[in-house]
Structure 1
Amino acid sequence: MSTRRELLAARDDATQLVRVIVGIGSDLDLGVTLRRIVSAAVELSEARYGVFAIRQSDSRTPTFVCAGIDESAHQDVLRRLTLISVGDGLRLDDLSRQNRYLDLRIATEPPSALLAVPIMIRDNQFGTLYLLHDEPGRTFSDLQDAAVRAMATAAASAIDNARLFEREREAAKWTKASREITTALLSGDPQTGPLQLIVDLALELADAEQAILLVPSEPDLPADHVATLVVAATAGRYAAEVIGRQVPMDGSTTGGVARRGLPLITDSFQYPIEGFTDVGERSAIVMPLMADDTMLGVIAVARRPLQPPFGNDYLELVSDFARHAALALALAASRENALNRQLAQAETVDDALRAAVDELRRLWRAQQVMAVTFAEDGSGGEPRVVSYTEPMRWSQLPSEVQDQIHAIRGGDLLAPVIPQPGVAAVAIQHPDGVLVVRIELAETRGFTLEDQTLLTVLAGRLSQGLHRVHQVDQQRETALALQHAILGPARLPQGFAVRYEAASRPLQVGGDWFDVVDLDDGRIGLIVGDCVGHGLTAATIMGQVRSACRALLFDNPSPAATLSRLDRFAARLPGAQCTTAVCVILDTATGELVYSSAGHPPPALVLADGSVEVLDGGHTIALGVRTGHPRPEAWAVVPAGATLMLYTDGLVERRGATLDDGLLRALEVVREHRGAALDEVVDTVMAGLAPAGGYHDDVVLLLYRPTAPLERTFPAHAEQLAPARAALRDWLHHAGVGPHQVVDILVATGEAVANAIEHGHRDDPGGTVALRASATADRIRVTITDSGAWKVPDDVPDSTRGRGVTLMRLLMDDITVDHDEAGTTVNLSARIL
């Protein structure tokens, strides 16, 4: 019977031991685990008191976890307890006799029995578990001794797991804090708010009493030339007393850390910092803020006097945080980095994105960098891909890359993701939706903390830059729409071409203007002017002057009279004085023009044979300077094939050269390309005269070329129809007629020519047909003349024939048919659409 009870007791003890072991390993919180270990040891040994003395790496007094003991009231007893040498384990049945010199009294009676078991983790002693009885005659049994030792082995594994988990959790907290700093630095002043954020987070995460951040008093000097550090940010106790204190680099602990660039754990500081080093002995970490071998400052974090000191494992966490913060601080403080310059120079979002992709590739020497934009406007279109290499479509990307990018798109913004070794990606906000930037290195290596910080900071800047470019682009479109509304007509008559370019960025509006005005008598008024200044102010003045000039031209279509009356308007409009302008009245039917210039560069003619004529007559001073004086006029003729050029001084004015030199250059380009279409000529002049960095002044270039008539005479044979149509088609194209209207004119003319051949020369096959086409500013005229005699129409018309004239009337605005003894003439006319 006794054996059975012993077996049952042994079973119960084993069950209790298993339950206790399972219990102490069921929580990954280190503090909870330590308390459970002490409670479990007390339960297994039936001890009155339990003490877990945890060793410190710097041989200081251990920290204690107690059961049944008031730790604060028995600090001396706990310290004396650790003086007992326990070796691999110790059990004493008469503690008072064997350690009579140690006063371990906790309650009324002194402890009578002791069981001490060391806790070993990875061959290092983590601490010692002490169990005590204070009842006289009470001892620990062999079974209790064995159970506690078995539990100690399980406790070591539970503590190790909890410490690993705690380190991972602490690392995650510090990493999260690093990202908070990076986010704040993207838009803040790196010398104020972000510094405070760094010390606030360091204080909180280290569970410290005080944190200070010191920066060089001479930030532009190398670290070995800096003489003084200044406390620029503080957190915690005595913050107000510490801020602004100065510490010498030589002879101070913080200065030594700054010079060496190595972190330090210490409990005493060389050179006193009032409010920080004079508040008592306590553990502190001093960390340098280094980025690219540049010393940006020093962080010092101090715990409370009775807190556990910082350990070397903790030093690694805090040092990573400091490196991350320093790199982010340096990047945010550098306002002139290459990416910023690229973004600042971009005029459109697409230009900015292409420049950023190329800059990111250069920074990482990457094998591939791509940016993928997902529009969120509900269009559901294919994502747009920008790559630094060849153009690429989304459908061309490998499916695994598409999956990676889709996953990153749905994650947190500005959070770098490492989907595979050697690849990093980040999602940012794009003006049209979400943008994912993916970087693939040329050689497989891990993206370090510094890489990820750099990517986060640059991605944030890219997002800001894209939104800024988008905003400016929208403003530019609005400004240009307004500018074009007041600048000149959106559609010019036939024979004219114009280009405008403003020097003022980013909105690209200015004070130069042009106007082409259809006057009531069929003539055309031309004005090119230049208000003083650039930008929106000049554009506002320009709009008022242009409107006034147009109104005056309608009232009195005379260049001299218009400019004379505009003098009084400019003199009364603030900012309009010294505006220059040239006003021209052109008769497109005859090519005759009359002009007057108010201080403006002279118009010029390039004739069909390449000779040049500068129209420098009718010239006097700028507008608004002297009122009440008549202005002169001059006359000229623009013959067929010649090109008239009106412009502002921004086209021809260059530093170190005269206006005459610039004008000769422009005329030479027009002369060399006088055989090309007018739109091609105006583009060639603008491109050929543009300085390397673009025009530095506003530019208007207005060209006019009267179209020479087309004249062809050919035999009255049907095979001549095709060559005649081809010649007329080419001529209409050069005359600026649109493709749909070209078809209408060709069909109508073809009917007239076919009728001339068939009806006018039915009985005279040797006759001829003449085709003549001419153009004015707004109208095309085609004349077909034959030398034959038409057949008199039948009394009963053929229902299948005779519809040519009807078709011509449908396709042209006006048609006349004149018969006489010499032949028949058909006149076709249509307004240029």
Structure 2
Amino acid sequence: MTDDWGELGGGPRGAAFDDLVADRDQMRRLVRAIVAIGSHLDLDVTVHRIVDAAQELSGAPYAALGMCSPEGTFGSFVCSGIDDETARLLGDVPLGAGLRLDDIATHPPFDATRAAPFKALLAIPIVVREANFGALYLADDRPGRVFTAAEESAVRALATAAAAAIDNARLFERERESAKWTKASREITTALLSGDPQTGPLQLIVNLALDLADAEQAILLVPREPESHGADVDTLVVSVTAGRYASEVIGREVPMGGSTTGGVARRGLPLITDSFQYPIEGFTDVGERSAIVMPLIADDVMLGVIAVARRPHQPPFGEDYLDLVSDFARHAALALALTAGRDNALNRELAGADTVDEALGAAAEELRRLWRARRVLAVTFPNGPATTETVPRMVSAGAEACWLDLPTDVRRAVADLRDGDLLSPTSVHPGTAGIALAHPVGVLVVWIELADERPFTLEDQTLLTVLAGRLSAGLQRVHRVDQQRETALALQHAILGPADLPPGFTVRYQAASAPLEVGGDWYDVVDLDDGRIAMIVGDCVGHGLAAATVMGQVRSACRALLFGNPSPSAALRGMDRFAARLSGAQCTTAVIAVLDPSTGELVYASAGHPPPILVAADGSVRLLDDAHTIALGLRADWSRREGRVTMPAGATVVLYTDGLVERRRLPLEQGIAGAAELIAGSRDAALDDLADGVMTGLEPDGGYQDDVVLLLYRHPAPLRLTFPPDAGQLAPARAALRAWLTTARMAPERTMEVLVAAGEAVANAIEHGHRHSPDGTVSVAATAMVDHVHLVITDTGAWKDPQQPPDVHRGRGIGIMRALMQDVTIAYDSSGTTIHLYARMA
């Protein structure tokens, strides 16, 4: 690091900063890795990405992912930098819950007779649905190289994300393998939507039939006259082929009468045979072999005939193949007959949804519209053991309903579908149908109740299966985006600013960019070594993850600089040098204010940022713009000046980003003035209520179009005291309250009244609330409002029943409190007693 870094270069502070930068880089790599491995549903692609990501996170030159066989041993490895044999040596190392070795030679099974292939080893198991999927091994043979605890933590986090990605990939693979004909139907419908309606889908049907039946050859025969139907068809023509001899058989004509294919077309029934009545050159003259012939019929219209033949030495087709290919043929024919737009609306709804719940609600409504149904239920059963008391989540389109109010037979039918095969439609009673499909968190059952009790036809079942497949894939896609958003938000909140603020502060943050909802705005509240508190609000250029990663670095640099020198102008000068060297950080704006909470003195400096707003208790407004200079990283050694102001009691200072006040076609000054007016008008509200009111009151139609940070501090900060119920605590509590009331600028005569009333409340809490429970606590909280002070005295004991007759010789404390205070309320409950005291400032 060069001398230009000043305070950041060298020494403990420089090392700390380097650690912060390293942690930030590691977090960024981890987020990128998690997004990468979760963005693909192919298992092979996913495991290769896991290995690559683990190497990137750890810097290991060698990596392997061992995958367990059903017997529990490693059946296969995905390797990088090493061969399979070496990977199996690593797989012999017992790893338990995980292993990090600086020298693998010291660990079994390696000893003097079995040389260790590497020096350092990091091994982390991958557990999917509580079952061992395998283990991730990272190795290094460089001298002195060991894996750090931080690298182990990162790889463990990656392994957790990898388990979810593997689970999704395997679920998708199982669904694909268990419902091949449904997948084929979806592909045919896609071809109808985007390809040539005459030949594209037909070629696809033949290709899929060949693949489904594991056959050698497949042909599709259609009527020679496309307009002909039924008895008018006299000749079939081989129009599409797949597999061997494709060019030889194409165009061959077969008569309807006297041919095996013609007979199947007329009867409408599939047939298994090893001989054909009418020779088809290129198909029947290549040797004896088993074949299936099935008709393509939809709405009583014969669309064609498919003939699929195996290789001569393959086993003959059995009844299972007949069912498989016949079902496919029926559904493929129906898909061809469906109008080419009936599922377009569902696709649009799924593409436009941001969350799984939103997608599910829109899909249920679209299915209800398609079937003109009375009601469509979408019932989600989460993964895990189901019991009779399990209440699934349910979305209802049409007639309103909740799960527990459904008839018993409907609940039983839906539950049975959950436990059955996915993507297998069922219609037990006329007028109803259901289908189960994969949901990102379990199983989704779609239940349709038609407006009348007509049968749910085969065409209905085919369309439902196709749409259910689309819905399942769409929900998985939306869920992946949701997961990426949650990961990005976790990163954002990890580097955005502290969640727990000191008393007197509150913050609001809202990101505008979709879908990840992260941005470049940030805030920070830092307790400095001299007792002062630094407040920072900044804005990096841009939106999304790129801006968020830059923001994290700039925020860390600012915090490190303030620890070194608690001067706003010095911190901005250091950030100037930092931003000039960090890609994407130029033109960052920031305002820093250092507060002395005991006096209210505020020292501030701004780099191109909107000025803080100071609102006094009387409603007067001041913009803190005395120390405004240019944005960061634009000019080297730019002079940064400071401003000073002392906050009066009851005053509120507001720091914010331009997203709060900037509007198109309006001057920025006008937006700032509007914000100041709103804050001044609501200055008597509690601080959290004020923050909510500002965010709501300034929100434009359509929501905020830019990221927003709003940071508020009201002086003085609330007093918080907690102490044991001991009379010896009265004096120190009274002294602390007196000092706080002096800071709050309460009139001396009012101060004495508050001290007397609060003393009575605390004494009662000690004497009455904890007479029989000396191990509890008493707390005192004091908050300054615009024209009054609010005190809350709470104990964890138990007072006597307030309904009992009063003791004439005791209990005058409450009367004293009521006489001295503007208002007093007392609340009793099982956790203790709370007294609220309200007193005017003057």
- 1:618-637 matches, within 5 Å, as 618-637=627-646
Q: By how many angstroms is 1:372 displaced?
A: 1.6
Change over 3 Å in CA distance of 1:496–1:361 after alignment to 2: farther
State the TM-score, normalizing by the size of structure 2. 0.53
Aligned to 1:616: 625
Name the amino acid aligned to 2:465. Answer: T
Q: Deviations over 1:583-615 (max 9, x none)?
A: 111222222212111111221123333333222
What is the aligned counterpart of 2:392 among 364, 383, 386?
383
Q: Deviations over 1:716-757 (max 9, x none)?
A: 99999579999x98955989xxx9995249999xxxxxxxxx
Aligned to 1:533: 542
SS state at 2:509 partner: strand
Contact in 2 for aligned 1:729/1:746 (Cα 8 Å):
no
Contact in 1 for aligned 2:519/2:707 (Cα 8 Å):
yes
Aligned to 2:3: none
Aligned to 2:576: 567
- Worse overlay, 524-533 or 181-190: 181-190
Aligned to 2:794: 743
Instruction: Say whether residues 1:316 and 2:300 are aligned partners.
Output: yes
Contact in 1 for aligned 2:224/2:237 (Cα 8 Å):
yes
Q: Deviations over 1:198-245 (max 9, x none)?
A: 134678999x9998xxxxxxxxxxxxxxxxxxxxxxx579xxxx9xxx
SS state at 1:417 partner: coil
Change over 3 Å in CA distance of 1:201–1:743 after alignment to 2: same
Q: By how many angstroms is 1:492 displaced?
A: 0.7
Change over 3 Å in CA distance of 1:683–1:466 after alignment to 2: farther
What is the aligned counterpart of 1:368 among 357, 362, 375?
375
Aligned to 2:648: 639
User: Which ranges of structure 2 fall in alignment gaps of 5 or more residues?
Assistant: 1-178, 242-246, 263-276, 285-291, 304-329, 717-743, 766-778, 800-808, 823-833, 835-842
- 1:92-103 matches, within 5 Å, as none
Change over 3 Å in CA distance of 1:693–1:194 after alignment to 2: farther
What is the alpha-carbon distance in structure 1 between the residues aligned to residue 411 and residue 609 of structure 2? 60
Name the amino acid aligned to 2:184. Answer: I
Change over 3 Å in CA distance of 1:310–1:583 after alignment to 2: closer
SS state at 2:460 partner: helix
Q: Deviations over 1:666-695 (max 9, x none)?
A: 334333433322222222322333344433
Contact in 2 for aligned 1:428/1:436 (Cα 8 Å):
yes
Aligned to 2:185: 182
SS state at 2:420 partner: coil
Q: By how many angstroms is 1:643 displaced?
A: 2.6
Q: Deviations over 1:178-197 (max 9, x none)?
A: 64532556999975897644
Instruction: Say whether residues 1:267 and 2:235 are aligned partners.
Output: yes
Aligned to 1:421: 430
Aligned to 1:685: 694
- 1:60-139 matches, within 5 Å, as none
Aligned to 1:582: 591
Contact in 2 for aligned 1:366/1:439 (Cα 8 Å):
yes
Aligned to 1:664: 673
- Worse overlay, 467-476 or 626-635: 467-476
Aligned to 1:443: 452
What is the alpha-carbon distance in structure 1 between the residues aligned to residue 240 and residue 755 of structure 2? 114
SS state at 1:645 partner: strand
What is the alpha-carbon distance in structure 2 between the residues aligned to residue 569 and residue 721 of structure 1? 56
Aligned-residue CA RMSD (Å) = 5.2
What is the alpha-carbon distance in structure 1 between the residues aligned to residue 359 and residue 817 of structure 2? 67
What is the alpha-carbon distance in structure 2 between the residues aligned to residue 686 and residue 580 of structure 1? 21
Aligned to 1:199: 206
SS state at 1:420 partner: coil
Instruction: Say whether residues 1:523 and 2:532 are aligned partners.
Output: yes
Contact in 1 for aligned 2:220/2:239 (Cα 8 Å):
no
Aligned to 1:596: 605
Q: Deviations over 1:683-716 (max 9, x none)?
A: 2322333344433322211122225577565599
What is the alpha-carbon distance in structure 1 between the residues aligned to residue 295 and residue 399 of structure 2? 53
Q: By how many angstroms is 1:365 displaced?
A: 3.6
Change over 3 Å in CA distance of 1:414–1:310 after alignment to 2: closer
What is the alpha-carbon distance in structure 2 between the residues aligned to residue 315 and residue 439 of structure 1? 22
SS state at 2:433 partner: strand
Aligned to 2:469: 460
SS state at 2:603 partner: strand
Aligned length: 525
- Worse overlay, 372-381 or 558-567: 372-381
Q: Deviations over 1:604-657 (max 9, x none)?
A: 123333333222221111111101122122223333333322111222222222
Contact in 2 for aligned 1:413/1:426 (Cα 8 Å):
yes
What is the alpha-carbon distance in structure 2 between the residues aligned to residue 719 and residue 624 of structure 1? 53
What is the alpha-carbon distance in structure 2 between the residues aligned to residue 715 and residue 598 of structure 1? 44
What is the aligned counterpart of 1:606 among 569, 594, 615?
615
Contact in 1 for aligned 2:188/2:204 (Cα 8 Å):
no
Name the amino acid aligned to 2:527. Answer: D
Change over 3 Å in CA distance of 1:625–1:524 after alignment to 2: same
Structure whose CA Rg is larger: 1
Change over 3 Å in CA distance of 1:474–1:618 after alignment to 2: same
What is the aligned counterpart of 1:701 among 689, 706, 710?
710
What is the alpha-carbon distance in structure 2 between the residues aligned to residue 581 and residue 589 of structure 1? 25
Q: By how many angstroms is 1:322 displaced?
A: 5.8
What is the alpha-carbon distance in structure 1 between the residues aligned to residue 414 and residue 579 of structure 2? 60
Instruction: Say whether residues 1:358 and 2:365 are aligned partners.
Output: yes
Aligned to 1:478: 487
What is the alpha-carbon distance in structure 1 between the residues aligned to residue 713 and residue 240 of structure 2? 83
Contact in 1 for aligned 2:652/2:715 (Cα 8 Å):
yes
Q: By how many angstroms is 1:580 displaced?
A: 1.0
Change over 3 Å in CA distance of 1:311–1:331 after alignment to 2: closer
Q: By how many angstroms is 1:421 displaced?
A: 1.8
Name the amino acid aligned to 1:556. Answer: N
Q: By how many angstroms is 1:659 displaced?
A: 1.8
SS state at 2:428 partner: strand
- 1:225-240 matches, within 5 Å, as 235=219
Contact in 1 for aligned 2:760/2:817 (Cα 8 Å):
no
State the TM-score, normalizing by the size of structure 1. 0.54
What is the alpha-carbon distance in structure 2 between the residues aligned to residue 501 and residue 525 of structure 1? 22
What is the alpha-carbon distance in structure 2 between the residues aligned to residue 410 and residue 194 of structure 1? 34
Change over 3 Å in CA distance of 1:317–1:730 after alignment to 2: farther
Contact in 2 for aligned 1:342/1:356 (Cα 8 Å):
yes
Change over 3 Å in CA distance of 1:272–1:476 after alignment to 2: closer
SS state at 1:654 partner: coil
Aligned to 1:498: 507
Contact in 2 for aligned 1:716/1:767 (Cα 8 Å):
no
Query: % of aligned pairs identical?
Result: 52
Name the amino acid aligned to 2:678. Answer: V
Contact in 2 for aligned 1:186/1:461 (Cα 8 Å):
no
Aligned to 2:336: 326
- Worse overlay, 533-542 or 607-616: 607-616
Name the amino acid aligned to 2:502. Answer: P
Change over 3 Å in CA distance of 1:535–1:768 after alignment to 2: closer
Instruction: Say whether residues 1:648 and 2:632 are aligned partners.
Output: no
Q: Which has the higher contact order (CA 8 A, sep 6+)?
A: 2
- 1:239-318 matches, within 5 Å, as 257=227, 265-267=233-235, 279-280=252-253, 282-283=255-256, 316=300, 318=302
